[in-house]
Amino acid sequence: MSMRVLMIDDHALFRVGLQGLLEQRGIEVIAAVAEGNEGLQLAESLQPDIILLDLRMPDMSGLEVLRKVKEIELNIPVVMLTTSNEEQDLVEALRNGAQGYLLKDMEPDELVGALRDIEKGKNVVAQGLTDVLARMVQGDPIVEKKKDTPFSELTPRELEILCLLADGQSNKVIARNLGISDGTVKLHVKAILRKLEVHSRVEAAVIAVEQGLRQNNASGNQK
């Protein structure tokens, strides 16, 4: 019986391309959707063998989907398929229950091999990230290493807001862009200033620009 995969990725061309590649190699893509909530509903009703999940999506991030899968006890292996080779993304994904962490630039046959291993119950991490995984297993404090950057303490949402601050956006505009209230933005900004140990939005924005956060964020959101 062929493996049944559900794909959640907001890039239509990538979904179509990958579906074709997998099906040529005997893997059935039972659904390919752009959005996390729809993906979760289909996962419940269709019970795929594996969920292939993008990390960076606009409405609901891959990590949020991952947490939901755990919360509703779907018991379906989830494999992140992403462009991000950031240590922190890998660590967060694995801590939240991902069984695999693969990169979008890998060869199709390698991807298929990884999916077959995951189907057998193995944990698979993209080549090049295995040293990070080894450090995690040995219990080395990966997060400590990240302390080199001023942003280690920030949550993903705070980082997102900091990027928008660095782009000169007001609380009102940030709130509108993220679909949250002005008050919530204010609380996040307060937390950002406290964690970065600065007193004003301008100082926070300067640090973000100095650290290349805007560029990183922009490139990180490209598939």
Res 222: pLDDT: 39
b/e per residue, 14-36, with b = 16+ CB within 10 A?
bbeebbeebeebebebebbbbbb
Task: Kindly provide the residue ranges of all beta strands, DSSP E only, lying in the chain, ordered along the sequence.
Answer: 4-8, 28-33, 50-53, 78-82, 100-103, 124-125
Burial bucket for residue 222 (CB in 10 Å: 0-12, 13-18, 19+): exposed
Of the spans 23-27, 125-129, 134-138, which averages the highest pLDDT? 23-27
Q: Which of 20-29, 52-61, 77-86, 209-218 has the lowest mean pLDDT?
A: 209-218
Query: Which CATH architecture describes the domain 4-137?
Result: 3-Layer(aba) Sandwich (3.40)
Q: Are 92 and 114 in contact (CB under 8 A)?
A: no
CATH 3.40.50.2300 residue spans of the chain: 4-137
Topology of the domain comprising 156-220: Arc Repressor Mutant, subunit A (1.10.10)
Q: Are 7 and 19 in contact (CB under 8 A)?
A: yes
Q: Does the structure show a pLDDT above 50 at 147?
A: no
Residue the block writes with tokens 């990390």: 55
- Mean per-residue pLDDT, 23-51: 94
pLDDT interval class at 1 (50, 70, 90): low
Higher pLDDT, 128 or 74: 74
CATH 1.10.10.10 residue spans of the chain: 156-220
Q: Which two tokens stand for residue 68?
A: 């939901």
Higher pLDDT, 80 or 220: 80
Res 209: pLDDT: 79
What is the spatial distance between Cα 164 and Cα 185, in angstroms, rounded to a whole number?
Answer: 11
